[in-house]
Structure 1
Amino acid sequence: MFTGIIEALGTITKLDNRGTDIRLTVSSQTLDMSDVALGDSIATNGVCLTVTDLGDNFYCADVSAETIKLTGFAHYTTGSKVNLEKAMRPTDRFGGHIVSGHVDGVGTVSNIIKHAEYIEFWVKAPQEIAKYIAHKGSITVDGISLTVNEVNGAEFMLWIIPHTLKETIMGNYKVGTAVNLEVDVIARYLERLMLGDKAAEPAKKGIDMAFLAENGFLKK
């Protein structure tokens, strides 16, 4: 588990193509690697990756084809900057919100407006996760725990202060930048809970007569 509080910035220094998968090497001069062991998890731009090799200032991780397809890793190249956070320990200060490192979708920066004290970022989320994004709720963007300041359909707005811009890769964002999004896990559980006993029923595929009757499209 993570908190969405970025510990350091890293750079992708190597991408080894292994057929459908890739082996990723991330280097960082500021991430404390002294307590990292093989098998530990490090959130890399919000994606939970398992450390398969490491040194004093780098780690390697294997990224599956499924992860590449569902995250912004499809857009990353050697030299790309990434946000880094080691897995949370029970004794750590909980500064952000509950982050699992499981990306729900890839959004796109749709507008950037500069103000005197902050920068306003608008991000367009995939339609299927828009329902989980709420005004004043939490969302993870490239591993950063952020508060949603406004919602307009599938787009949401963030107010980002200079400190966050300096300590994360958000300072490099441009209109069109692809970003990893993870919605608040509580919203996911709430949706499931609201199904009640129906949660145990197999998922329905397509529309049948029973569905139409249940949703008021057929007269009794």
Structure 2
Amino acid sequence: MFTGIIETLGHVTNLKQELENLHITVESTITSELKIDQSVAHNGVCLTIVNIDTNCYTVTAIKETLDKTNIGNLELFDTVNLERAMKLGDRLDGHIVQGHVDQTAECISIKETQGSWLFTFKYDSTLNNITIEKGSITVNGVSLTVVNSKRDTFSVAIIPYTYEHTNFKTFKIGSIINLEFDVIGKYVSRLNALKS
């Protein structure tokens, strides 16, 4: 379980394909505090640490993960958002995030406003995921509030702190990002689909 509050950034130092799996090595300031078998969210994708070597650690993404997320698009030196699993009893500063990405989306607009940025994303609405105005959404692991919710697009407003301390600063028009929709909204959507 995660909160969507990014703890730090990591940098991809190695990518190794093995059959259908991708082993991803990440350099991070939190590596010394990690343990093998621990879960860490990478751009919102929960992955298990399989190896630690000084200031780098390795996780493995299977085909299902590579097919449904942007993890398979990673390149050497890319920046990833990192969050360790929350501790029981900690404050929930973001919202309930499972680390299970529902689908990807494309960045279609970036507007710099006076003191913040407005990012707009387009996603495949046929997968029955929904956003609601002022609801929660996780974008590349970042817990955010939805603005301008439409059938297949939504926007989020990014403050300078979030912009500087996440990989939002690397987004361009056409960037593919991970989405985890609000867990309560997913259950409501599924129940409605079953009634139809």
* TM-score interval for Structure 1 and Structure 2 normalised by the shorter chain: over 0.9
Matching residue within 55, 58, 78 for 2:56: 58
Q: Which amino acid aligns with 2:17?
A: N
Q: Is the 8 A contact 2:137 2:180 kept in 1?
A: yes
What is the deviation of 1:17?
A: 1.0
Q: Does 1:101 align with 2:99?
A: yes
* Equivalences, count: 196
Which blocks of at least 5 consecutive residues in structure 1 are unaligned? 200-214, 216-220
Residue range with higher mean Cα deviation, 68-77 or 38-47: 68-77
Tell me the residue number matched to 2:4.
4
What is the deviation of 1:106?
A: 0.5
- Kindly provide the CA deviation profile for residues 22-74 of structure 1, in whole angstroms up to 9, marking residues without a partner as x: 1110111x32632x221110000000000111144221111111111111022
Q: Which has the higher contact order (CA 8 A, sep 6+)?
A: 2
- Kindly provide the CA deviation profile for residues 121-171 of structure 1, in whole angstroms up to 9, marking residues without a partner as x: 111112235652111000000000000011133110111111000000001
- Higher strand proportion, which one? 2
> Against the structure 1 CA distance between its residues 129 and 119, is the aligned structure 2 distance closer, same or farther, given a 3 Å change threshold?
farther
What is the deviation of 1:119?
A: 0.7
Tell me the residue number matched to 2:17.
17
- Kindly provide the CA deviation profile for residues 164-189 of structure 1, in whole angstroms up to 9, marking residues without a partner as x: 00000001111000000000001122
Which blocks of at least 5 consecutive residues in structure 2 are unaligned? none
Q: Which amino acid aligns with 1:15?
A: L
What is the deviation of 1:103?
A: 0.6
Distance in 1 (alpha carbons) for counterparts of 2:4 and 2:94: 5
Distance in 2 (alpha carbons) for counterparts of 1:130 and 1:108: 17
Distance in 1 (alpha carbons) for counterparts of 2:8 and 2:49: 16
Provide TM-score, normalisation by structure 2: 0.94
Tell me the residue number matched to 1:218.
none
Q: Which amino acid aligns with 1:4?
A: G
What is the deviation of 1:193?
A: 4.1
Distance in 2 (alpha carbons) for counterparts of 1:135 and 1:180: 19
Tell me the residue number matched to 1:174.
172
> Against the structure 1 CA distance between its residues 97 and 52, is the aligned structure 2 distance closer, same or farther, given a 3 Å change threshold?
same
Q: Which amino acid aligns with 1:12?
A: V
Query: Partner of 2:97: helix, strand, or coil?
Result: coil
Query: Partner of 2:91: helix, strand, or coil?
Result: coil
Query: Partner of 1:117: helix, strand, or coil?
Result: coil
Q: Is the 8 A contact 1:113 1:120 kept in 2?
A: yes
1:59-208 to 2 correspondences below 5 Å: 59-129=57-127, 131-194=129-192
Q: Which amino acid aligns with 1:9?
A: L
Distance in 2 (alpha carbons) for counterparts of 1:18 and 1:57: 23
Q: Does 1:33 align with 2:53?
A: no
